[in-house]
């Protein structure tokens, strides 16, 4: 009988009691599958692939599954070094999970070594994208056009300044991080955030320097009047799971 | 400070950035067609945009008509 397993993350073999009471997707109990000093964090997976796929295309269901995945990863990451998996990675049974651990042992061991003692911090920078209002009510068509062209020029300048400011912040933060990674800027329609998201980055930081890094990010942004900053995390190192030495 | 940010409720979009674009990508035995993040974002947008129809001129690229 096959019992499909949903994989959340792989970590160094941690105390199985750390998983006690933890539930994952669809409320399934989380447990570990160990191989040597590695352990996969798994739960019983929904067995109907088509149904799960259909669910992930609906925002409300996607949110539920993502939240469950994230909760499990965050809980395990709080006490152990983990390599998080992408959403909805499912294997036929426990045997297959163990096989993956065996086959990719070196890869996971290297990643875990690199990620030990680190956390991911998210930094989003926004520029106010509202156009400045026309200064005075225009009295003629000509002065209206002049104001309009002035407004366009000011907007172009504002974007250039903002781009330079983003680079300054990103460079300074990069120097204080072990690694960095960029996500796509978030569309305002999805995030609901005010302003235009011009940087959506993640930085890998030593756990002991998270507070310092967060404070630095805020200070850097304060020095840039064109930018608004949002800091998130600490996260499990989702954005740093690419093997470093492979293309 | 750290406690302050970790206590904030985590925004779904930040979770999705990481769960759909980050994390180890292995081809499991059941391969779900969610690798195409754009598809997901499009369907999210389709769900959200009707609610905010008044903002539909602000496109992803930041260009305005």
Global ipTM: 0.84
The lowest-confidence range among A95-99, A117-121, A144-148, A172-176 is A144-148
Residues from chain B that touch A10, judged by Cβ atoms under 8 A, are: 24
**pLDDT for B3 beyond 50:** no
- For position A6, what pLDDT does the model report? 93
Q: Which residue has the higher pLDDT, A29 or B17?
A: A29
Which class is domain A118-240? alpha beta
Residues from chain B that touch A24, judged by Cβ atoms under 8 A, are: none
**A32 interfacial to chain B (CB closer than 8 Å):** no
DSSP A26: G
Main-chain dihedrals φ then ψ at residue A33, nearest 5 degrees: -125, 115
- For position A142, what pLDDT does the model report? 83
**pLDDT for A99 beyond 70:** yes
Residues from chain B that touch A131, judged by Cβ atoms under 8 A, are: 64
- For position B31, what pLDDT does the model report? 54
Question: pLDDT (tens digit, 9 = 90+) per residue, A108-129?
Answer: 999 999 999 999 999 999 998 7
Using pLDDT thresholds of 50, 70 and 90, give the confidence band for residue B30: low
Nearest CA to B28 out of A40, A105, A6 is that of: A6
**pLDDT for B2 beyond 80:** no
- For position A135, what pLDDT does the model report? 61
**In a 10 Å sphere around its CB, with 0-12 CB exposed, 13-18 middle and 19+ buried, how is residue A26 labelled?**
middle
**A109 interfacial to chain B (CB closer than 8 Å):** no
The lowest-confidence range among A58-67, A101-110, A134-143, A192-201 is A134-143
Single pTM value for the model = 0.82
Cross-chain residue pair B20–A87, CB shorter than 8 Å: yes
Token pair, residue A35, equals 């191989």
Residues from chain B that touch A129, judged by Cβ atoms under 8 A, are: 58, 62
First CA to last CA distance, chain B: 41
DSSP B9: P
Percent above pLDDT 90 for chain A? 61
**pLDDT for B34 beyond 60:** no
In chain A, domain spans: 5-115, 118-240
DSSP A220: H
In chain B, domain spans: 9-53
Cross-chain residue pair B30–A85, CB shorter than 8 Å: no
In A34-93, the residues whose Cβ lies within 8 Å of chain B are 45, 49, 52-53, 56-59, 62-63, 66-67, 69-70, 83-92
Q: Tell me the C-alpha distance between A21 and A54, whole Å.
A: 28
Q: What is the mean pLDDT of residues A183-189?
A: 85
Question: pLDDT (tens digit, 9 = 90+) per residue, A19-78?
Answer: 889 999 999 999 999 999 999 999 999 878 778 877 887 778 888 999 999 999 999 999
Q: Tell me the C-alpha distance between B38 and A133, whole Å.
A: 34
Cross-chain residue pair A129–B22, CB shorter than 8 Å: no
In B3-42, the residues whose Cβ lies within 8 Å of chain A are 5-6, 8, 10-26, 28-30, 32-34, 40-41
- Answer whether B58's CB lies under 8 Å from A37's CB: no
Nearest CA to A224 out of A178, A186, A172 is that of: A172
Question: pLDDT (tens digit, 9 = 90+) per residue, A157-174?
Answer: 888 899 999 999 999 999
Best mutation target, B4, B9, B14, B42, to test chain A (most A CBs within 10 A): B14
Q: What is the mean pLDDT of chain A?
A: 89
Q: Tell me the C-alpha distance between A15 and A116, whole Å.
A: 17
């Amino acid at each position: 009988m096959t019992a499909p397993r949903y994989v959340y993350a792989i970590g160094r073999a941690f105390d199985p009691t750390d998983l006690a009471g933890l539930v994952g997707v669809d409320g399934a109990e989380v447990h570990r599958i160990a191989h040597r000093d590695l352990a996969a964090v798994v739960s019983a997976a929904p067995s109907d692939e088509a149904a799960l796929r259909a669910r992930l295309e609906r925002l409300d269901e996607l949110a539920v599954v993502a939240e469950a995945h994230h909760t499990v990863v965050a809980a395990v990451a709080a006490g152990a070094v983990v390599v998080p998996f992408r959403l909805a990675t499912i294997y036929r049974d426990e045997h297959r999970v163990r096989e993956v651990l065996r086959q990719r042992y070196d890869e996971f061991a290297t990643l875990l070594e690199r990620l030990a003692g680190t956390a991911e911090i998210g930094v989003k920078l926004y520029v106010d994208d509202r156009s400045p209002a026309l200064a005075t009510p225009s009295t003629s068509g000509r002065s209206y056009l002049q104001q309009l062209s002035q407004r366009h020029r000011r907007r172009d300048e504002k974007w250039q300044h903002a781009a330079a400011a983003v680079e300054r912040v990103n460079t300074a933060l990069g120097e204080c991080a072990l690694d960095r990674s960029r996500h796509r800027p978030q569309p305002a329609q999805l995030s609901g955030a005010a302003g235009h998201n011009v940087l959506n980055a993640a930085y890998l930081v030593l756990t002991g320097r998270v507070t310092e890094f967060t404070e630095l990010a805020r200070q850097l942004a304060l020095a840039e009047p064109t930018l608004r900053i949002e800091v998130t995390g600490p996260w499990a190192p989702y954005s740093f799971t690419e093997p470093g030495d492979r293309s | 400070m750290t406690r302050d940010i970790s206590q904030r409720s985590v925004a779904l979009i930040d979770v999705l950035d990481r769960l759909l674009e980050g994390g180890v990508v292995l081809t499991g035995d059941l391969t779900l067609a969610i690798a195409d993040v754009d598809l997901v974002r499009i369907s999210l947008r389709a769900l959200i945009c009707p609610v905010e129809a008044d903002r539909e001129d602000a496109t992803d690229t930041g260009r305005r008509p």
